[in-house]
Structures are given as C-alpha cells and as structure tokens.
C-alpha cells in the first residue's frame, strides 16, 4: 500500500539506521505522509507510535491504522510533547528507537493555501498545526532589527538586513499577505541572484522555522529522547539546514561524552561524565547522487544517528 506518491528523503538510510526489530516499540516523530511509518511497520513485527502536529495528515494515518491495527497508533500533536504523550499511553520508555525527519512534507509544499512554497501563490501562513500566529502576522509584529535577526540566524540569509529593511518599509504601503508579494520584495533586494537555489529559499525557511518555533521543539525532542530511550535503542534525525543540524550534532556529541574545544576540529572526551550514547556513524550520512538528482530537496539533507548504551 502506497500512502502517497512522495518518498521521504533518505528513507532507506534512515530505516536501516533505526535498526528495526521484532517486538520492540518505535516512534516516528514526524509522520507526514506516512512514508517512514509504513516502512518501519513493514520491516518487522514491531509497534509504532507516530506523531505529527499537522491535522491534515490524519487521513494518511487512518489508512495505516486499517492495515496494521493494534501495531500502529497516531497522535496529532507536536513532538515536543512526546513525554506526556507516552504517559497518556501508559509508557515511560522506548525500546526500539525514534526517528525524526525535520523537512517539510511535499503535500505541505504543494498546497498553495498553506503558504510554505515560494513557487506557489497563496496566503502567507506557514503554520504546520494551523494554530498560532501566521508568517504574515509574524512579519508585522517584528521591528526591522528583529526581522533581520530571524532571517540571518534561521536562514543564513546574507541579505537579511536589506530584506528586512524593504519588508518593513513596504508593509505600511501595501499589505504583504501572499507568498508572491513577499517573493517580489526579496527578488527586488537580490537582483542578479544567479545561484541554483531560488532567491527566496533562505527567507522562507527562516520565517517557517520562526512561525512554528521549530528549534524550540527540536531541542525538547532531543532532551526527552535522551531520557526515554532504553539500551540498544537508537535516535535517528534527518536535518535539512545548518541551524538545526548544528543543534543535533552538538547534542549528540554531548550525550556521547564528547565536547568541542575552541578549535572545533579537536573534539575531546569529558572523562568525568557518564557516556550514555555512542555514535553509529562518526560523520553524518548524506543522500546519494541519484537521490539528489531526482529530488532537489535532498541536496541539503544530513542523517545523524546514535545508540543508547547500557550503563
């Protein structure tokens, strides 16, 4: 059963890294279209709890529930609530592992009404859960300096100050309420931009992260995972940009007993700290050349994995 035609980025590597085995419990923290979840359930006679804060994925989850029945359960919530979700389901730990794909689902990008894509005209929304402030409301709530900081820190946008200046100037003249209106302003600043990526890529990424408070949720997920994973279980995270990848990398180094010197090329072991996890791969796994050629979204993906050790 194919739930939707989209295959998640690095799915084969992620499922292999998760080391799915019979009779163990797994969590798919980012259900999306159900690609990872279905592969996990097909891989072994295991139990799976899947989470997603987007209410529009419930239809995909329903199809999996019909096929896998008691082995599968879906919860419509933010993965930062994982600990309370487990308690409500009479669980305090996870025996198999947790996987999280931090990218935006293709069906979210393809739906112009969601406002995630700079290639489709629609309302400037960007909310994954459909709740809270929209990207448009965020833009109007920030001053120029705050907006520039978001574009720089969450998107690595080198023209962050210029883009923020134009947005603040123009928002009082004409309502910036659609994706194409925002794209038009960004293109005005980035004239002559000739790189492979769309000129609005970094700004849209930054606003999406800020609108959904994604980095706050990610940090909470990582801290909860450290507490609830049992020996032999794994934590697999696929990131799509340097900001979130650095958070994952530094967290994994910390829980594996390593930290960074001032020289980031010389990691050192913290001798007086109990090592709870071990790296399965010293360096992040990257998508294959074939996958990048067939899916441009894969080009920035990195997969990191650690395993809980018996102490």
| CA distances from residue 71 to 2, 50, 108, 189 in whole angstroms, order as listed | 18, 11, 27, 52
Q: Specify the CATH number for the domain of residue 190.
A: 1.10.150.170
130 assigned to some structural domain: yes
Same domain, 221 and 99: yes
5 inside domain: no
- DSSP H or E stretch at residue 169: helix 160-171
At 226, which CATH number?
3.40.50.150
Last residue of a domain, one of 183, 212, 241: 212
Domain range for residue 140? 113-212
pLDDT in tens, 151-174: 999 999 999 999 999 999 999 999
* Residue with token string 């709870």: 276
The label of the residue with tokens 């890529």 reads: 201
* Structure tokens, 117: 């894509």
Residue 142 lies in a domain: yes
Q: Tens place of pLDDT for every residue, the chain, 311 residues? A: 333 446 789 999 999 999 999 999 999 999 999 999 999 999 999 999 999 999 999 999 999 999 999 999 999 999 999 999 999 999 999 999 999 999 888 889 889 999 999 999 999 999 999 999 999 999 999 999 999 999 999 999 999 999 999 999 999 999 999 999 999 999 999 987 777 789 999 999 999 999 999 999 999 999 999 999 999 999 999 999 999 999 999 999 999 998 755 444 444 444 445 788 999 998 999 999 999 988 888 889 999 999 999 87
In a domain, 6, yes or no: no
Q: Is 80 left (phi over 0), alpha (psi -120 to 50) or beta?
A: alpha
Structurally, how many domains does the chain consist of? 2
Q: pLDDT value at position 272?
A: 46
Task: Establish if 4 belongs to a structural domain.
Answer: no
Q: On the CB side of 287, how many CA atoms lie within 13 Å of its CA?
A: 22
- Do 21 and 144 lie in one domain? The reply is no
Burial class from Cβ neighbours inside 10 Å (0-12, 13-18, 19+) for residue 101 reads buried
């Amino acid at each position: 059963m194919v739930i939707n035609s989209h295959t998640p980025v690095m799915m084969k590597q992620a499922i292999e890294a998760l080391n799915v085995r019979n009779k163990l419990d797994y969590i798919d923290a980012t259900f999306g279209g159900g690609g990872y979840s279905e592969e996990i359930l097909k891989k072994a006679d295991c139990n799976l709890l899947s989470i997603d804060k987007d209410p529009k994925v419930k239809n995909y989850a329903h199809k999996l529930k019909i096929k896998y029945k008691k082995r599968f359960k879906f919860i419509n919530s933010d993965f930062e609530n994982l600990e309370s979700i487990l308690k409500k389901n009479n669980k305090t730990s996870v025996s198999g592992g947790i996987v999280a794909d931090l990218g935006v689902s293709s069906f979210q990008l393809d739906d112009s009404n969601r406002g995630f894509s700079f290639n489709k005209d629609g309302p400037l929304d960007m909310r994954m859960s459909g709740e809270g402030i929209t990207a448009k409301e965020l833009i109007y709530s920030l001053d120029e300096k705050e907006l520039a900081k978001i574009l720089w820190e969450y998107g690595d946008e080198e023209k962050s100050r210029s883009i923020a200046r134009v947005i603040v100037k123009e928002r009082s003249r004409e309502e910036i309420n659609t994706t194409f209106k925002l794209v038009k302003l960004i293109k005005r600043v980035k004239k002559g931009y000739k790189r492979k990526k769309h000129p609005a890529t970094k700004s849209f990424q930054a606003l999406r992260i800020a609108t959904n408070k994604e980095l706050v949720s990610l940090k909470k997920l990582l801290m909860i995972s450290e507490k609830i994973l049992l020996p032999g279980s794994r934590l697999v995270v696929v990131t799509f940009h340097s900001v979130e990848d650095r958070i994952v990398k530094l967290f994994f180094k910390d829980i594996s007993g390593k930290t960074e010197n001032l020289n980031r090329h010389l990691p050192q072991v913290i001798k007086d700290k109990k090592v709870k996890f071990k790296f399965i791969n010293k360096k992040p796994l990257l998508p294959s050349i074939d996958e990048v050629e067939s899916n441009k979204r894969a080009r920035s993906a990195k997969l990191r994995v650690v395993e809980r050790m018996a102490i």
